[in-house]
Amino acid sequence: MSKEKFTTLKSTAVPLPNENVDTDQIIPARFLKATTREGFGENLFRDWRYDSNNQPISNFVLNDSSFTGKILVAGKNFGCGSSREHAAWAIYDYGFRVVVSSFFADIFKNNALNNSLLPVVVSDAFLKSLLDAIQKNPSLEVTVDLENQFIEFDGNKESFEINPYKKSCLINGYDDIDYLLSLDKEIREFDKQHA
Amino acid sequence: MGKTLFDKIWDAHVVRQQSGYPDALFIDRHYIHEVTSPQAFDGLKKRGIGVFNTARTTATADHNVPTKDQHLPIKEALSRHQVETLRKNCKEFGVELYDLGHPFQGIVHIIGPELGFTQPGMTIVCGDSHTSTHGAFGTIAFGIGTSEVEQVLATQCILQHKPKRMRIEINGTLGKGVVAKDIILYIISKISASGATGYFVEYAGSTIESLSMEARMTICNMSIEMGARGGMIAPDETTFSYIKGRKFAPQAEAFDKAVAQWKQLKSDDDAEFDKVLAFDATDIAPMITYGTNPGMGIKVTDRIPTPEELKDISEKPSFIKSLDYMGLEPGSQLLGKSIDYVFIGSCTNARIEDLRMVASIVKGKKKANGVEVWIVPGSKQVEDQARKEGLDKVFEAAGFELRSPGCSACLGMNEDKIPAGKYCVSTSNRNFEGRQGPKSRTFLASPLSAAAAAITGKVTDVREWI
């Protein structure tokens, strides 16, 4: 089934320098009760965004109106912990289309790629200078070019790796099931032989 | 060059290897539960297709269920709806469901092995990161997201790139009071919460070989807490005798035939791993975590580090934030710290052996005043066995509450939550901020250490009790 296509994105970015941001922070388990994929954005980073009386916590970056945009820039080991795809859904539903970090947890990375959310892995040094630059200038424009595999801001440019198959899925809006369904006959044969 | 156990199992399950594509990997067993499956079933409905092979799919309700009065309708409307959706989907698609009240119901990673579904050499997935538990049987088992659950329901395959291989060897004899949970918390404290990201781990060595299946499951379960996709242990006689006679395992002659095959499942002597680590069992002590990721662990008698002692100085702000959340001072002792709750449960430590460990410590003793203790068996079968052995009487006399099976306070999703600001010694797997309930504070430890803490009301060195 077709998904949103991703080619190039130019946007301001939101800095979240914390390391080891786990999926329980991205979307706490008590908000995983929905049976659809939509609406998780409202609880993205719930316990960092709102206090126990549901009042916005003013010093959290998503509550700071100077920082907006479709790119989330986060500290290393982003998305560790639970396999909940709800974490990727929440980030996407909130409006982000790219997450930049120096290191992603494996399952989160797969989940993001399966939901038209591009994880961009950069060097520690690039991450630090990007975070600093956004802090200094919240209206800084960041470019993420998937076709040519680079990220750029203010004359700083770094290329990033992405698996060619996943790249083509994102650019064309394909998903994995379309490919696997085309192997149906082979899979049925395999299943029979391994019963 | 020889092959690793991981490669042998992986290669035997590749249906299609095509240049430019990830491998299409056949999945032998797919476990599903109420939280990560509804959107996947919806996807099947939209595509107008069914479940590829219902005989390879097993469902249970665990994450979102109450652990009290399970015979009554679930109180909370959204939780009830999610469990009812699982029921509806399983019925519509013909998937076997071990629902609340069924004698096989329980935490998905506890019932799979217990029922004999999990067998050596298999590929196993579930929409839950602790699927790595099943690796204890010499399987490739890993957690997946909901889009991948849909892939497996639709095609019995998953598109995956082969991860790198790591071998972690532990040799030597464990000291008294040191159990599997301490081994894995020790390893994670050494290599960090991201130390195995990108890898699939094989645990080996004389210490691992000496462990029971329950203990091996505890270790493989927490592989994800160091970032590994999964962890596995080569099957041996301990594995085979655990499986023998279980309901869905091969029986009689078929079992003997299977064992002959399972015996082939080990890494060749000259197999090459991308990374090899080795640890000495005699250096491992009862462990406890003090921070908000599972890598933040110490020997129970050690001090909490100071920011200056961190290996990676860039982690200083996160470290300070973490201790602030926990209400702890850098450089202080955790030993003797007062606690409010003890939670014994989860897919890490809620098997019968774990409950026996707890009983061995608390027999004839009473819990400390002001401490609440919840024992949540991993499955209906574990609960029944505990009652048969009279463990329920031991717990009752100690003032512990024996509840019904479910994920319970491991993840702060169902009714069982640790209140804000309270300290809980927990046998579960994650100490993330708010994991056990908003603003809750978690100390991860073994069932032995948790039992001792329940009696003293403090963080305790269980070695003094043995």
Integer Cα distance of B317 and B436 in angstroms: 23
- For residue A1, the model assigns a pLDDT of 59
CB contact A129 to B (< 8 Å): no
Q: What's the gap in Å between the CA of A73 and the closest CA on chain B?
A: 16
Q: What's the gap in Å between the CA of A60 and the closest CA on chain B?
A: 14
Q: Is the pLDDT reported for residue A19 higher than 80?
A: yes
Nearest to B344 by CA among B365, B307, B320, B374: B374
Q: What's the gap in Å between the CA of B394 and the closest CA on chain A?
A: 33
Q: Is B14 exposed, middle or buried (0-12, 13-18, 19+ CB in 10 A)?
A: middle
Could you tell me how many CB contacts below 8 A there are between chain A and chain B? 183
Chain A residues within an 8 Å CB radius of B321:
18
Q: What's the gap in Å between the CA of B440 and the closest CA on chain A?
A: 12
Q: What is the mean pLDDT of chain A?
A: 96
Chosen from A22, A26, A53, A89 to mutate, greatest number of chain B CBs within 10 A:
A22
The residue of chain A nearest to residue B164, with distances taken between CA atoms, is: A106
CB contact A1 to B (< 8 Å): yes
What Rg do the C-alpha atoms of chain B give, in angstroms?
21
∠ CA B240-B241-B245, rounded to 5°: 100
CB contact A20 to B (< 8 Å): yes
The residue of chain A nearest to residue B325, with distances taken between CA atoms, is: A48
Which residues 96-155 in chain B show a CB within 8 A of chain A?
Answer: 127-129, 131, 143-148, 150-151, 154-155
CB spacing of B39 vs A35 below 8 angstroms = yes
Nearest to B219 by CA among B165, B182, B262, B164: B182
Chain A residues within an 8 Å CB radius of B146:
37, 85-86, 111
The residue of chain A nearest to residue B125, with distances taken between CA atoms, is: A83
CB spacing of B128 vs A36 below 8 angstroms = no
**At which residue do the structure tokens 């305790």 appear?**
B460
Integer Cα distance of B134 and B128 in angstroms: 12
Nearest to A13 by CA among A100, A77, A111, A88: A100
CB spacing of B430 vs A81 below 8 angstroms = yes
Question: Using one digit for the tens of pLDDT, what is the confidence trace for A84-137?
Answer: 999 999 999 999 999 999 999 999 999 999 999 999 999 999 999 999 999 999
Q: Which residues of chain B have pLDDT under 50?
A: none
CB spacing of B129 vs A81 below 8 angstroms = yes
Chain B residues within an 8 Å CB radius of A175:
147
CB contact B52 to A (< 8 Å): yes
- Confidence band for A195, pLDDT divided at 50, 70 and 90: confident
Direct distance between the N- and C-terminal alpha carbons of chain B, in angstroms, rounded to an integer: 47
Nearest to A36 among B16, B39, B321 (CB): B39
Integer Cα distance of B432 and B320 in angstroms: 14
Q: What's the gap in Å between the CA of A81 and the closest CA on chain B?
A: 7
- Residues across chain B: 466
Q: Count the helix, strand and coil residues of chain A and give each as a percent rounded to the nearest 5.
A: 35, 20, 45
What Rg do the C-alpha atoms of chain A give, in angstroms?
18
CB contact A64 to B (< 8 Å): no
Nearest to A180 among B155, B193, B315 (CB): B155
- Residues across chain A: 195
Integer Cα distance of B107 and A132 in angstroms: 45
> Which tokens belong to B272?
């090459």
Q: What's the gap in Å between the CA of A99 and the closest CA on chain B?
A: 18
Integer Cα distance of A56 and A49 in angstroms: 6
Identify the DSSP state of B435: T
CB contact A24 to B (< 8 Å): yes
Interacting residues of A170 by C-beta distance below 8 A, sequence separation 6+:
A5, A6, A113, A116, A118, A146
CB spacing of B129 vs A88 below 8 angstroms = no
CB contact B15 to A (< 8 Å): yes
A36-49 mean pLDDT: 96
The complex's ipTM works out to 0.95
- For residue B437, the model assigns a pLDDT of 97
The residue of chain B nearest to residue A128, with distances taken between CA atoms, is: B314
Secondary element (H or E) of residue A10: strand A8-11
Beta bridge mates, A72: A14, A99
Cα–Cα separations (whole angstroms), residue B255 to A51, B240, B248, B258: 56, 9, 11, 5
Amino acid at A44: L
**At which residue do the structure tokens 């574990």 appear?**
B382
Nearest to A35 among B82, B229, B317 (CB): B82
Nearest to B47 among A1, A30, A106 (CB): A1
Integer Cα distance of B27 and B140 in angstroms: 10
What are the helix (H) ranges across B13-145?
38-47, 77-93, 108-114
Cα–Cα separations (whole angstroms), residue B244 to B57, B153, B176, B188: 21, 29, 30, 32
Chain B residues within an 8 Å CB radius of A114:
145, 147-148
DSSP B336-367: T-B-SEEEE-TTTS-SHHHHHHHHHHHTT--P
CB contact A106 to B (< 8 Å): yes
Chosen from B13, B146, B200, B441 to mutate, greatest number of chain A CBs within 10 A:
B146
Q: What are phi and psi of B124, to 5 degrees?
A: -135, 135
Integer Cα distance of B426 and B450 in angstroms: 7
Integer Cα distance of B219 and B135 in angstroms: 9
Question: Using one digit for the tens of pLDDT, what is the confidence trace for A50-73?
Answer: 999 999 999 999 999 999 999 999
Q: What's the gap in Å between the CA of A187 and the closest CA on chain B?
A: 6
Chain A residues within an 8 Å CB radius of B46:
1
- For residue B387, the model assigns a pLDDT of 98
CB spacing of B15 vs A186 below 8 angstroms = yes
Identify the DSSP state of B161: P
